Amino acid sequence: MQEPTAIASVHVHARPGTVYRLLTDLSQWRAFVAECRVTPGPFTARVGERFRGTNRRGPMVWRTTATVTQATPDRCFAFRVTLFGMPVSYWRYDIVPTDRGCRVTESTRDHRRTLMRVVSIPATGVVDRAAHNRRNIQRTLTRLKALAEAAEGGTSAGQGEGGPAGAEGTAGVAEADGNRR
């Protein structure tokens, strides 16, 4: 599998199960996911399950379909994204238990072919998709941390010791996909 085009991690003072439940409860995404809004409907986090996402950037709107590729309770939630049946991206959340909660890593890989990369610039208004996704991953993880810690009665450390870290792209890899979920 190719290296992530955008990745970051955050330490969360909450149990892995709390984080996993937030990640797999799509009705909660509006509270922490930076770019995508999920179309309401029944959803069970299991391999092969699909859900629809709507992304908006200014006047630009695009809709995608995501298919769950991994759903390991308290450990990992991952899915691939398509647009009109064409591969767009792969998104993954890894949850690793720690002595004081867990470390959550969000990553994405760009699966767009050349034509879709070119067309996506005017369609989404984003020129540097990898940088855009790095910023959105930082926002998502910061919000997820606060939500998970609040759910367990803790407080978020913000950008300090427990804030998002490691949001570096992979050198030499083309723009990442912006079609989050």
Instruction: Tell me the average pLDDT across 69-86.
Output: 95
pLDDT (0 to 100) of residue 173: 21
Residue 96, CA distances (Å) to 9, 58, 74 in order: 10, 35, 8
Instruction: Tell me the average pLDDT across 156-180.
Output: 35
Write out pLDDT tens, residues 92-117.
999 999 999 999 999 998 777 767 66
Angle at 143 between CA 142 and CA 149, to 5 degrees: 90
Mean pLDDT of the chain: 80
Res. 161: pLDDT tops 50: no
Distance CA 18, CA 151 (A): 8
Q: Please state the pTM of the whole predicted model.
A: 0.80
CB neighbours of residue 111 within 10 Å: 18
Distance CA 119, CA 149 (A): 40
Distance CA 12, CA 64 (A): 29
